Amino acid sequence: MDKVFTATSRDGTRLGCVVDGQGPPLLMLHGTGDTHLGWRRIRPHLTPHFTLYLMDRRGRGVSDDREEYALEREWEDAAAVIDAIPEPVNVFAHSFGAMCALEAALLAGNIRSLCVYEPSVNRNTGNAKREFTIDEMARLSALGDRDGVVTVHLRNIINASDETIEKQRGQKEAWAARTAMAHTMPRELQALRHYRFDAQRFATLGVPLRVLLGEKSVGHGPGTAQSLLEAVPGSELVKLEGQGHFAMLTAPDLLARKLIEFFR
pLDDT of residue 157: 86
For residue 69, the domain's CATH number is 3.40.50.1820
pLDDT of residue 252: 98
pLDDT of residue 194: 87
The string over 79-90, giving b where at least 16 C-beta atoms fall within 10 Å of a residue's C-beta and e elsewhere, is bbbbbbbeeebb
Number of folded domains that form the chain: 1
Please give the radius of gyration of the chain, using alpha carbons only, rounded to the nearest integer.
17
Q: Is residue 211 part of a domain?
A: yes
Assessment of whether the complete model's pTM goes beyond 0.85: yes
Measured between alpha carbons, how far is 191 from 212 in angstroms, rounded to an integer?
24
Strand order in the sheet with 89-94: 3-8, 14-21, 51-55, 25-29, 89-94, 111-117, 209-214, 236-240
Measured between alpha carbons, how far is 135 from 117 in angstroms, rounded to an integer?
26
| Helical (H) or strand (E) element with 93 | strand 89-94
**Beta carbons within 8 Å of 72's beta carbon, 6+ residues apart:** none
pLDDT of residue 168: 87
Q: Is residue 173 part of a domain?
A: no
Q: Is residue 148 part of a domain?
A: no
CB-based contact 47:32 (threshold 8 Å): no
End-to-end CA distance of the chain: 28
Q: Is residue 155 part of a domain?
A: no
pLDDT of residue 26: 99
Measured between alpha carbons, how far is 96 from 226 in angstroms, rounded to an integer?
17
> Of 9, 248, 249, nearest to 115 (Cα)?
248
Q: Is residue 182 part of a domain?
A: no
Measured between alpha carbons, how far is 172 from 179 in angstroms, rounded to an integer?
10
Percentages of the chain per state (helix, strand, coil), in multiples of 5 = 45, 20, 40
Domain extent, residue 68, equals 3-124+196-263
Q: Is residue 132 part of a domain?
A: no
Report residues of the chain scoring pLDDT below 70: 122-126
> Of 60, 61, 103, 67, nearest to 82 (Cα)?
103
Q: Is residue 171 part of a domain?
A: no
pLDDT of residue 122: 65
Torsion of CA 257, 260, 263, 264, to 10 degrees: -140
Q: Is residue 134 part of a domain?
A: no
Residue 36 is given by DSSP the state G
